[in-house]
Amino acid sequence: MPLSRLTVGAVLSALLATLFVSAPAQAADGQISGLAGKCVDVAAANSANGTAVQLYDCNGTDAQRWSNPGDGTLRALGKCLDVVDRSTASGAAVQLWDCTGGANQQWVVTAAHDIVNPAADKCLDVRDNNSANSTRLQIWTCTGGANQKWNAPASGGGGGTPSGFVVSEAQFNQMFPNRNSFYSYNGLVQALSSYPGFAKTGSDTVKKQEAAAFLANVNHETGALVYVVEQNTANYPNYCDWGQPYGCPAGQAAYYGRGPIQLSWNFNYKAAGDALGIDLLNNPWLVQNDSAVAWRTGLWYWNTQNGPGSMTPHNAMVNGAGFGQTIRSINGSLECDGRNPAQVQSRVDAYQRFTSILGVSPGNNLYC
């Protein structure tokens, strides 16, 4: 955020011990094949809730025909691959169940041929590394073993996502497994219409790099999307510039940091509100009460403000200046040029994690 604001986010989130990379899956026939060339199979082709999912000789039946519709689920016989009892523990079995949209039914197929449940941060696993027919499948800490390697069906929609955003909901959940529910994926998707050039400019690689860069800075500012408002309440009265002709109509202490890039100061609430057609000067609380509004303020800053830098973060990414220049534009006056290298490293680490999840290189010029 702008010069003069102390950043809230210094929290390094322990997201994923292993860097997973989304990739186009294989096996166009819809089978998921793995250990000993056998397939993920619904026991007895039974579509009842709770039916075991197991390893079995590949036979081309509907019990082994899985679809990946692009919403993070894997489906067979009209139902979803589901972790029993929403467990996140190693050894929790998987089953077939009505699709509910729950985190226990979200899966990410990676370039390393893992199938990951982001909520548990665990991999689809053949129990006891046993290749015998009818061996039950489960989730387990990802080890890279052969009993966790799969070829899975490609997602629908030609490699895009249902939202049109380069980050799928499953990938978003993988990036932020412990996020505050306020920071919803749907809220972010709704906000994208305000800045149609965001993550839609340049090559597919650049689009994904920009999305990763935005989310990495957001990660740092909010403690991995945990904090909606600035945590240091003692700072709240400091963000009113009475030198502005419009003053601080919501109150001296009303313009503290809120949202994904912690919008702060009365003049920023005024400028963002004017740009978005929302009266944030008089009602700054919208940024902490409406998820889409919060995301829009983050995108407003990203796409239109230089901050203490010389370019907008959007321009830094689409014109090849690199991730380091996004840091400079957001909080460079307090972090760049050796002022706080640990904070810079926190942002870079998140960016590298997120580009890995999206399957692209981070590019050059990562530091400021």
- Catalytic residues, which ones? 221
Inter-residue contact 359 to 111 (CB < 8 Å): yes
One-letter amino acid at 124 equals L
Report in angstroms the alpha-carbon separations of 217 from 57, 70, 138, 324.
Answer: 46, 26, 35, 11
**Side by side, which strands form the sheet with 79-83?**
75-76, 79-83, 94-97
d(CA 80, CA 193): 31
Q: Closest Cα partner for 57 from 139, 135, 137, 152?
A: 135
Q: Tokens representing 249?
A: 């109509």
CA quadruple 246, 248, 250, 254: dihedral, nearest 10: 140
H helix intervals, the chain: 169-175, 185-191, 204-222, 266-276, 286-289, 291-304, 313-318, 323-335, 341-358
Contact at 8 Å (CB) between 42 and 76?
yes
